[in-house]
C-alpha cells in the first residue's frame, strides 16, 4: 500500500487579506467590489480566487479567520474559492495579542504550512521559527490585502516543498 502524504496547509485570513478593511472609508480599490455581509462593509476582489486557484493542487486550504464557517458561505463564492474549505474554529477566544495561535497550533499539527494574515505577532513568528517543518508567514497590509508579492512567495515556497519531497534540496 502506498504511503499517503498530506499536502501542506495554506491558512487564509479574510479581513486584512481578502478584505482590505483598512482602506480609507468610501474608497473601493480597483478590481474590488463593495459588499455588505453580516452588516459589515466588505471589499472583495474576484482576482484573488484566480490567483489562489493554482495552489489548490499544491496545498490544502483552510480558513483562519473570525468569519469561521461564514467564510465558506459568504466570502468563498464572491472570490471564486471552494465553499467547503476546512475552518479553524476560534470560538470565544479573547481577541488580544496572538489569539489565533492556540487554535492554529492544534489544527496544523506537524504539517508544513503557509499562513497569510495581516496580524501575525511576535509569538506567531517565534512559533513558526521553532517548528521543525517548513513554515512560511506572509503578512498582508490591511489597507491593501492580498498582493502579487504574496502569490510569488507562495510559488517559491511550494517549489521548495516539491523539491524537498523529491529529495532535490
pLDDT digits (tens, 9 = 90+) for 4-19: 458 999 999 999 999 9
State the pTM of this model: 0.92
- Burial call 114-143: b when 16+ CB within 10 Å, e when fewer: bbbbbbbeeebeebbeeeeeebbbbbbebe
Q: From CA 109, how far away is CA 89, in angstroms rounded?
A: 15
Q: From CA 154, how far away is CA 134, in angstroms rounded?
A: 12
**Closest listed residue to residue 63, CA positions, set 10, 138, 108:** 10
Banded model confidence at residue 2, pLDDT cuts 50, 70, 90 = very low
Q: From CA 73, how far away is CA 67, in angstroms rounded?
A: 10
pLDDT score, position 97: 65
Average pLDDT over residues 101-109: 95
Among 3.30.70, 1.10.4100, 2.60.40, 3.40.50, what is the CATH number of 9-165? 3.40.50
- SS3 category, 161: helix
Average pLDDT over residues 105-132: 96
Q: What cell does 125 get?
A: 513568528
**Chain centre distance of CA 116:** 4
Task: Reply yes or no on whether the pLDDT at 123 is more than 80.
Answer: yes
Task: Reply yes or no on whether the pLDDT at 103 is more than 80.
Answer: yes
Amino acid at each position: 500500500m502506498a504511503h499517503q502524504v498530506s499536502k501542506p496547509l495554506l491558512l487564509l485570513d479574510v479581513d486584512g487579506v481578502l478584505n482590505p478593511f483598512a482602506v480609507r472609508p468610501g474608497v473601493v480599490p480597483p478590481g474590488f467590489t463593495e459588499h455588505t455581509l453580516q452588516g459589515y462593509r466588505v471589499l472583495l476582489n474576484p482576482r484573488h480566487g484566480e490567483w489562489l486557484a493554482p495552489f489548490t493542487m499544491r496545498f490544502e486550504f483552510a480558513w483562519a479567520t473570525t468569519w469561521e464557517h461564514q467564510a465558506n458561505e459568504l466570502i468563498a463564492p464572491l472570490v471564486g474559492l471552494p465553499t467547503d474549505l476546512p475552518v479553524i474554529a476560534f470560538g470565544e477566544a479573547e481577541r488580544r495579542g496572538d489569539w489565533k495561535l492556540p487554535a492554529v497550533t492544534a489544527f496544523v499539527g506537524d504539517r508544513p504550512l503557509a499562513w497569510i494574515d495581516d496580524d501575525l505577532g511576535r509569538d506567531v513568528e517565534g512559533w513558526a521559527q521553532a517548528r521543525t517543518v517548513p513554515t512560511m508567514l506572509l503578512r498582508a497590509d490591511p489597507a491593501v490585502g492580498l498582493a502579487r508579492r504574496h502569490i510569488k512567495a507562495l510559488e517559491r515556497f511550494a517549489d521548495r516543498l516539491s523539491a524537498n519531497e523529491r529529495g532535490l534540496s
